Amino acid sequence: MVLIGLDLAWSEANPSGGVAIRWQGDRGKPFLWTAELGALEEIVGFVEEAAGLGPALVAVDAPLLVPNETGTRPCDRELSAFYRKAQAQAYPANRRRLGPRVRGEALVAALKARGFTFQSRVEKRKLVRQVVEVFPHPAMIELFGLPRILRYKARPNRSLSFRLAELRRYWELLGGLSEAEPALDTAPILSQTEISGLKGRELKAAEDLLDALYCAYIALHLWYWGEEGYRVFGDEGTGFILVPIRPKGRDHA
């Protein structure tokens, strides 16, 4: 089974990150990754190279279904209300903001043409070809047991030193996934990702790669635990987001 995480930029003007891991019976092993995916064709090519014609679950951090012209999708409202105290609200997605071509919808259409399904139910350890929408911020709250999100993204009045400290903490938490259930060997990627002194495009590339790595882990978690390991916001008609949760009786990653 191949688990793929995509940190999909909302605009083709910005690069996207991708990480693919392979389940090897007792842990996931990264085998393909990049923070420099550009056009949709490159992103689809990355998925094809990683998955071939075999089973794969693709977890994408971006709106994949946006039927509303304006306003906010129900899934974004529901998720934002649930995680407001942790500051893990979703960005409002609508066609006017993302259009005229919604990249996530185009990606889903391209993957459907290659045998992938787009549905909100992930069955426990079933060999599938499927794509789902995820969101790393609430996933961090759930799997890392954080009281609020890590604030490593560029925002007004957020200093570079603060962002680097938060990104370093993210890096360390990802390293701890080697002891989680399911386990992920993050060392091949983390050992190549130096946080200290980053700025500008290099900092953004590191963020994108770590987010893609976490999306790949989310895909692994969803597939490993099935329905006891995630919460669904929204539906297949108006858009949905899957947030991983620790099954009852399980400690945080």
The length of the chain, given as a count of residues:
253
**Two tokens, residue 134:** 């995820």
Look at residue 249 in the predicted model and tell me its pLDDT: 60
| 10-residue mean pLDDT series, the chain (253 residues) | 96 92 96 96 98 97 96 97 95 90 96 98 97 97 95 87 93 96 96 86 92 98 97 97 88 56
CB contact set of 43 (below 8 Å; sequence gap of 6+): 6, 8, 16, 18, 37, 107
What per-residue confidence (pLDDT) applies to 13? 85
Q: Round to whole Å and give the CA distance between 57 and 178.
A: 20
pLDDT at 251: 60
pLDDT of residue 200: 86
Query: What's the pLDDT at 100?
Result: 79
Whole-angstrom distance, CA of residue 121 vs CA of residue 137: 21
pTM for the whole structure = 0.95
pLDDT for res 12: 84
CA distance 41 to 135: 23
Is residue 65 within 8 A of residue 108, CB to CB? The reply is: yes
For residue 38, CA distances in Å to 113, 149, 209 come to 20, 27, 14
Q: What's the one-letter identity of residue 17?
A: G
Q: What is the per-residue pLDDT for 195?
A: 87
C-alpha torsion 180→184→185→188, nearest 10? -130
Structure tokens at 130: 């499927």
**Angle at CA of residue 210, ends 180 and 29, nearest 5°:** 50
- Measure Cα distances from 170 to 82, 103, 129, 163, 206 in Å: 22, 27, 29, 10, 11
